[in-house]
Structure 1
Amino acid sequence: MNRIFFIIFLSVLPNVFVWSKAVCHEQKKESSCHSVSLSGGLTFDDTWKVELSYRFTPFRYTGIGIGIGYWSQYGNEDIPHETMIWTVNKDTKDIGDFYLRPNIMFYTPSLFHIRDCYFTIFANPGAILNIPYGNANIDLIDNTGVVTGSDNVHNSHGKWSAFDLRFGLRFGTEDTHFFIGYELSTMDVYGMYRRMEYRNVKFNDFYPHCKNQKGLVFDISVGL
């Protein structure tokens, strides 16, 4: 299913951008159709993310975009191990991954404005496409807890794609906008690690059940 979605995305995206470029040229809007944005987010499941995006807005209230970003856990305590035999290296215990995020932007008309700054509501559905690879460094330990060696385990099969929705308040001038909102996501941070096992110990036994992520997102966008 992941591969089918990725193939469809790669085949459709170039045509969408060609169409959007033609529409934007015909619109001749006063504000730029092109913009770049930098966003960051924190979830209630102890993960953070940073993302750089390009957006194309051929219509006043609709746009498309593509982002590249990185997310990571912090303070992860769900560490696979076998007592006095081995444990996942604590320096690499926080799972993270690079991702692509194709998305669509929807805006409402201006709700109100203060001088040149106007306020609207935005909705931003998208897809998260992580790198389909998981890797864990293993510390081999003796019965006193001293590290005596190392090993590695990796996996290329698992859940690496997800859908998300960001929505909230957008405010700014014609070419500079700020976004403050809420994010919902079906991404499983352990998606590429649940199938891993080492010495017949399954990593999934140490991980919590998969659940939807929720968090806050912040964004600044500048027209080109």
Structure 2
Amino acid sequence: MKHTKHIESSGITRRQFLVTSSAAGAALILPGSLLAIPVSMPDSEGYLLVDLKKCQGCGTCMMACALAHSGEASYSLSRIQIQQDSFANWPDDVFMAICRQCEDAPCVSVCPVRPVRANKPNPDWGYARMIDQNLCIGCKQCLTRCPFTPSRIQWDALQQKSQKCDLCANTPYLDEQGGPGGVQVCARVCPVNAITFTTEMPEQGAPSSYNTNLRDSAWLKLGMTTK
């Protein structure tokens, strides 16, 4: 244990140490599921963008998300999470955490369920980065591997498995087609149209690249800025 702490304090994680060590030796000691192997994956065919200056934090998108995916009216089952800071001023008082459908998604590469992977992008669903709960073993590796705060992967306490935004590709309680080629319920139900869908990949690595300006001339009538 002391040896591991020394490795981590020197800037090398335990996983990096294992990977850069002899692969054959590591395979004899550790199960392959502990090693994050890079996965080549096509780009997602869709992305969600949000106007944080327009979002009111009402939670309508969260409720619709939970209902479409699980049939339960529960904020905790939503794949979108809204955080509100009552001590902050507009527009910093509301933050919406939406999965970025990363180009090189670490949640996919870390999944230990092989060879199928519980979150392998599926061409039938537009290569959205998603989690198949029928395959998920509830190890939470994808949840902790997400590089964003809060994690864009949520824990389903009812199923004891991970879940995340799939652009509504797998929504058994939605009576129409979702996914990149269909409807995204969060964007449809937002009362102020603060969420939109795009097929163009936002700039990767830029913190604000998934934020957009959806304010039009009608917004000016409310005395609000369109900038």
- Normalising by the smaller structure, the TM-score range is under 0.3
* Larger relative contact order (CA 8 Å, sep ≥ 6): 2
Q: Which protein has the bigger strand share?
A: 1
Q: Which protein has the bigger helix share?
A: 2
Compute the TM-score of the two structures, normalised by the length of structure 2: 0.24
**Over alpha carbons, which structure has the higher Rg?**
1
